[in-house]
Amino acid sequence: MKMKGVELQELEDWDFKISFDHGAVNDIVVALSKVPEDKRHGVARKFLAASVTYCMTGYILYFLKRKGVDVSDIHTSSQIHIGKDESGSSAVKEIDLHITVDIPEKDLNILESCRTILKNGCLISKSLENGIAVNRSISLKNRGGTGQDH
């Protein structure tokens, strides 16, 4: 099933607008122009971590609520580990997630079921673990020409 992702457009001077086209998510402006050039790296890996953090937290929260658990609080933090891939390029090698929930003591047995969910993963973590194929193309903006991929 093919679904729309996001659109990204450079606004100016290294500032980008990411459009989600989703009622629950506001567009985001990444304002790299406000950050010294030597501090501009790392935004993409934060988005990657945010994606898996959001997905896993939402999955656990959905499961708990579906089981009738009163979740007073849920908080997830993530940590990214960078390393080198086979070609020697930097790559995200691991993402650690730590989820803390506040639930009634009577529902602790249900929390144990969440450990299985964590082990099996959510859509994003499963996709990362299985190695997502990223298809790429680049084309010239049509100036009366063909605009073919190069």
Go through the domains of the chain in sequence order and give each one's CATH number. Answer: 7-40 (no CATH), 42-130 (3.30.300.20)
Average pLDDT, the chain: 90
DSSP per residue over 25-87, as a string?
A: B--EEEEGGGS-GGG-TTHHHHHHHHHHHHHHHHHHHHHHHHTT---SEEEEEEEEEEEE-TT
Q: Residue 146: what pLDDT?
A: 54
d(C-alpha 2, C-alpha 100), whole Å: 34
| Residue 110, amino acid | I
User: Once rounded to an integer, what is the mean pLDDT over residues 62-75?
Assistant: 95
| Comparison of pLDDT for 105 and 138, the residue scoring more | 105
For 74, phi then psi, to 5°, come to -140, 135
pLDDT higher than 60, residue 85: yes
Are 89 and 45 contacting, i.e. CB atoms less than 8 angstroms apart?
A: no
Query: To the nearest whole percent, how much of the chain has pLDDT over 90?
Result: 75
pLDDT higher than 60, residue 148: no
User: Once rounded to an integer, what is the mean pLDDT over residues 55-66?
Assistant: 94
Q: Residue 150: what pLDDT?
A: 47
